[in-house]
Structure 1
Amino acid sequence: MATHRLSFLPISISTSQSLPSKRHDFRLSLPLSSLYGNKLLLKISDLSLFVTKHHSSTTATVSFSLPTAKPERAPSEKSPKWSARSIKSFAMAELEARKLKYPNTGTEALLMGILVEGTSQAAKFLRANGITLFKVREETVNLLGKSDMYFFSPEHPPLTEQAQRALDWAVDEKLKSGESGEITTTYLLLGIWSEKESAGYMILATLGFNDEKAKDLRKYINEDIVLNYK
């Protein structure tokens, strides 16, 4: 029986890279072992795949800091670094804002981010005091409402002014302490609490957090540093 050959046109696929866009061309050539009516049988062992690929290096940038409105507060080499848990909490905060379809990352989102990350001393302290992610989400919707179902948040919802001040408070407190080490999520949580008019503060207060508990939390302000290096 004669062997028929089916050739497909090249398929071009665009890829998103930091360098100018490249295109990858894939050309498939498939032998047909036989044809029976409308049934097409392919002999997979004869499948040949030809790939023409443009090689290029893609650079990935990973941020090890959080946005600051006052970069002049200290030389970059002396500026304290955020802990890995703090950075992850911030990333989770942006994600929570997007889930709720909010246009900005506010103090309420920062609070949720701490709880989503979940392994920091701040998150453990909140849960021990009955402040859970579910409760914070519920109070957030009660306080701020639901976003329009047809609205889509940006990939990185920008910080509200209050959320930015909470981050800056954490950095300033670390600098004032004169202690070495990283800025933990406890600093971040206390930064949220410092913004008295913010949604995050109101939600914490509604769920039973107060100045006395904030004082207790300060005892663990550097504990994430110890945990990070275990």
Structure 2
Amino acid sequence: MAARTLSLSTPPSTPALQSDCRRFNPFRSSLSPSLRPQSLQSPWLGTTNLLLRSSTLGPLMPKHRPITATVSFSLPTAKPERVSSAEKVPKWSSKAIKSFTMAELEARKLKYPTTGTEALLMGVLIEGTNLASKFLRANGITLFKVREETVKLLGKADLYFFSPEHPPLTEAAQRALDWAVDEKLKSGESGEVTTAHLLLGVWSEEEAPGHKIMSSHGFSNEKAKELKSLISEPGFVED
């Protein structure tokens, strides 16, 4: 009896069958060669080969530059001619800058639309480590008292009012800042404009809230002269 042999060979496919396989092959790209994303031309990225970077989008994303912070050593002034003049304008001390920043923040907390002399006074006290704040506390003038007196004098702001991020200075507060710089220039001494100069500038505005609050708590022209004598000592530095 003759043994039968099974053939496992695949019968040759017909052209029609090959065409059907190509038609329904899920792994075959339906894009024509002209539409395949071989490269990307961009005026910002240049030419990028997408086939080499298809596994990740990381290389396509621009790298973030490190953030740098710039510290300014000047405060707003109503005398822009200083900047263009040949006269060297003294810088504000870091504690005076911080006091000014705290003043703006305090004005926002109280929901006031501007930063006034009363806010500058509170900013000096909030910073807390400067000579002017120590001098005020030694004479019984504290942040709590000044804040309470401010509300009594200026009233409470509207509950639903939101102060701007940087409440603009009142005219009196701007004059106080300029007075501090002018006083430093008139002294002819080198060094920075300190919180003591700032506080004396607030005191110079007699009709402003800051002066009235200081006066109501016992600050006087004699106290101002005493503070001025402290910062006039040779080699004084607000550290």
TM-score, normalised with respect to structure 2 = 0.70
Secondary structure (helix, strand or coil) at the match of 1:96 reads helix
Equivalent position amino acid for 1:81 in 2: K
Partner of 1:152: 162
Tell me the alpha carbon deviations over residues 42-78 of structure 1, each in whole angstroms, 9 at most, x when there is no partner: xxxxxxxx98554233453332210011021363771
Q: Percent identity, aligned pairs only?
A: 72
1:167-178 equivalent positions in 2, closer than 5 A: 167-178=177-188
Structure-2 change in CA distance of 1:222 and 1:120 (3 Å): farther
Q: Which residue of 208, 215, 229 maps to 1:198?
A: 208
Tell me the alpha carbon deviations over residues 180-224 of structure 1, each in whole angstroms, 9 at most, x when there is no partner: 000011100000000010000000011111111111111222579
Structure 1: gaps spanning 5 or more residues: 1-49
Partner of 1:96: 106
Q: Which residue of 224, 227, 234 maps to 1:214?
A: 224
Alignment: residue pair count: 179
Structure-2 change in CA distance of 1:124 and 1:76 (3 Å): farther
Residue 234 (structure 2) pairs with residue 226 (structure 1)? no
Secondary structure (helix, strand or coil) at the match of 1:226 reads coil
Q: Which has the larger radius of gyration?
A: 2
1:1-230 equivalent positions in 2, closer than 5 A: 52=58, 54-57=62-65, 58-73=67-82, 75=85, 78-221=88-231, 226-228=237-239
Retained in 2: the 8 A contact 1:166–1:192? Answer: yes
Q: Normalized per residue, which structure has more strand? A: 1
Structure-2 change in CA distance of 1:203 and 1:51 (3 Å): farther
- Supply the distance in 1 between the matched residues of 2:86 and 2:144 (Cα, whole angstroms): 38
